[in-house]
Chains A and B, each alone.
Chain A
Amino acid sequence: MSDVSYVRTKMLDEMAPPVSQVGPIRWARENLFSSVTNSVLTLLAIWFIYSLLAATLPWIVFSSFSANSLGECRTAIRDAYGADATGACWSVIRERYLQLLFGFYPSESYWRPILALVLMLVAIGPILFEGLPRKMLIFSGLYPFVGFFLLWGGTVWLPVTILLGFVIAYFATTMLGKVIGSLGAVIAAILLPVIWWLFLAGPVAYGLHAIVPIGLVPIESARFGGFLLSIVIGVTGIVLSLPIGVLLALGRRSDLFVVRTICIGFIEFIRGVPLITLLFVASTLLNYFLPPGTTFDIVLRVMIMVTLFSSAYMAEVIRGGLAALPRGQYEAANALGMDYWKSMRLIIMPQALKISIPSIVGIFIGLFKDTTLVSIIGLMDPLGLSTAIRANAAWNGIVWELYGFIALMFFIFCFSMSRYSMYLERKLQTGH
């Protein structure tokens, strides 16, 4: 049996792979032409893309930017590219883009939403990306008040007094906790700020304003419109629905019967009702329940409804993430002596949220696009504005250019969210 034995005497050197096995040729062969079916599909796809571009590219390129009405537009295109040419009339975007972005917001105050947007990016930065300094989170916490002040204007003391409510809540939990126990402190931390906001914050703010009048020109919600409105409603909904959804999901799994029942009731009710119904409630019905004479800002009402709506969905998505965690994680956290809130915050939620990222971002994207529904109750979001623009005699009959532009803007926002969620998933990947 000596032929079984073998000993290598010389080790082999490393060699480059054959040319046919590397580079674009190999890629194309593997991905586009790996089989007959694949080759046919590739050719079909190329033909499809070609026809699509052949039909749309001339329309996009043979266009007019300078006309002042649809008729002028058509003449200009015919003059420039021949009698048969049809092209896009981008002039409408040129003429109305400020309106599509800001609605009827006074043009001398455009700097306010622009500054608010820039500051928002600064505020969101440290939440989205770990590399930025942690101290920036303080600004993120203050931003809602800054943003509110910039957009709506009025006295600077109103956001300050509203902020004070949270300071009151903070002191109620830290200082009263020792005196009246933790449950009492929690109740006080909810009750005291609510009393402050309902009865004292307003008068105090106006009192302070009378003494030290600092403020911006107030701008009412009716003038908000376009993407400004979409972003205000969308971002508020996104930022608030996540924490509310987390609390609802925890509540639904709670051992406390009352908490659990309330959470289930809320989630099931909100999920069982179309968003449009809630928006109608916000725009009309809510007034019947409020004391006569109170004006409760329509945009604020819509923001509340949109937030509640998506937080119900959020709760269910997060509950799915919670259910996916093995029991051992809860037990290990408990066995190390962590109480409920610590184990939720440090062990359970980070993992449950990570599992739910794709669905959470799905809800965010859905929410952002759903902001266009507010046009039904008469708010001037981009879609509402486009109807208004098309009602104008000069632009009557224009369709693709407006909706195409709006679609492109929405796509940019939604696609960025989607990419960010993929980045986050990759970053949080801790397996192999």
Chain B
Amino acid sequence: MSTAVEREVDRSQMKVSDEVAIQITNMNKWFGAFHVLRDINLTVQRGERIVVCGPSGSGKSTLIRCINALEEHQDGHISVDGTELSSDLKNIDKIRSEVGMLFQHFNLFPHLSILDNCTLAPIWVRKTPKKEAEEIAMHYLTKVKIPEQADKFPGQLSGGQQQRVAIARSLCMQPRIMLFDEPTSALDPEMIKEVLDTMIELAQEGMTMIVVTHEMGFARQVANRVIFMDAGQIVEQNEPEEFFNNPKSDRTKLFLSQILGH
């Protein structure tokens, strides 16, 4: 599972500031009667790269989906960039336009060209003039190294290319925080690398990132904190070096042995 291991990563730009980007306190969430997230407390500083891992069903995806209100939490507080996440629609839309999100299945809009995928939200949500939005889009498409695909449709691209377009589409909204929900789980091994490379570049530019992933190589290289979740709770968190070499809890040890053992 460690495709992203042998690569030089320049950590010099990855500075963590004192400013709080995301603050989650005593958050609980239920799906019906099922208690899916239990008493989550998490503070994310600006510039942090946090990798969330854990067995499937542990609530890690649900956790980051709560941060941009794709899922509603029933108890506790979440604030993003100082804005409290409540049921008020204005706050939700404001937070969502500040927080970029990547999905396992890319979720590009298949009826729009790559360029339109990237310009749609800036034009309609940010009210950016079309021309300017297109320039921004081309800038980010160049950054993810697929400017030549701008006029194609998502269905004509490979999975890795689609995920990179999805990254560019998020960046076009110029978010201050990026959430990644298993961005490489649906990809072939050789495509995983191109997506991880793009994510590493983002990290090197100082983006605040929360990444749900099984890519432990990426976690080692890029993350400044690894969080292990099980049964809806944060079981252990630590710096990657310590987390991988010297896990404290038995659950973490078991998980790491299973995921790294083959």
Where the two chains meet, the residues of A that have a C-beta atom closer than 8 Å to any C-beta of B are: 326, 328-329, 331-339, 342, 346-347, 350-351, 354, 428, 430-432
Contact = CB atoms under 8 A, between A and B. Distances in A.
B191 to A, nearest CB: 18
A338 B121 contact: yes
8 contacts: A335-B68, A335-B70, A335-B96, A335-B103, A336-B120, A336-B173, A338-B121, A342-B124
B103 A336 contact: no
Contact of B105 (A328, A337, A430, A432): A328
Contact of B96 (A326, A328, A329, A334): A334
Nearest to B153: A430
B219 interface: no
Contact of B121 (A337, A351, A432): A337
A336 B121 contact: yes
Interface stretch (B5-13, B24-32, B106-114, B234-242): B106-114
Shortest 10 CB-CB distances between A and B: which pairs?
A: A337-B97, A332-B107, A328-B107, A336-B121, A430-B153, A335-B101, A431-B155, A337-B96, A337-B125, A350-B111
Name B's interface SS: mixed
Contacts of A430: 110-111, 153-155
Nearest to A428: B111
Contact of B103 (A332, A351, A354, A432): A332
Contacts of B2: none
Nearest to A343: B124
Interface centre among B94, B107, B108, B155 (most CB of A within 10 A): B107
A350 B153 CA distance: 15
A428 B113 CA distance: 12
A339 B89 contact: yes
Nearest to B113: A430
Interface in B66-107: 68-70, 89, 93-94, 96-97, 99-101, 103, 105, 107
A333 B110 CA distance: 12
A430 to B, nearest CB: 4
A302 to B, nearest CB: 36
Contact of B107 (A331, A337, A338, A432): A331
Nearest to B68: A335
A342 B127 CA distance: 13
B124 A338 contact: yes
Contacts of B110: 351, 430-431
Nearest to A337: B97
B156 interface: yes
Contacts of B97: 336-337
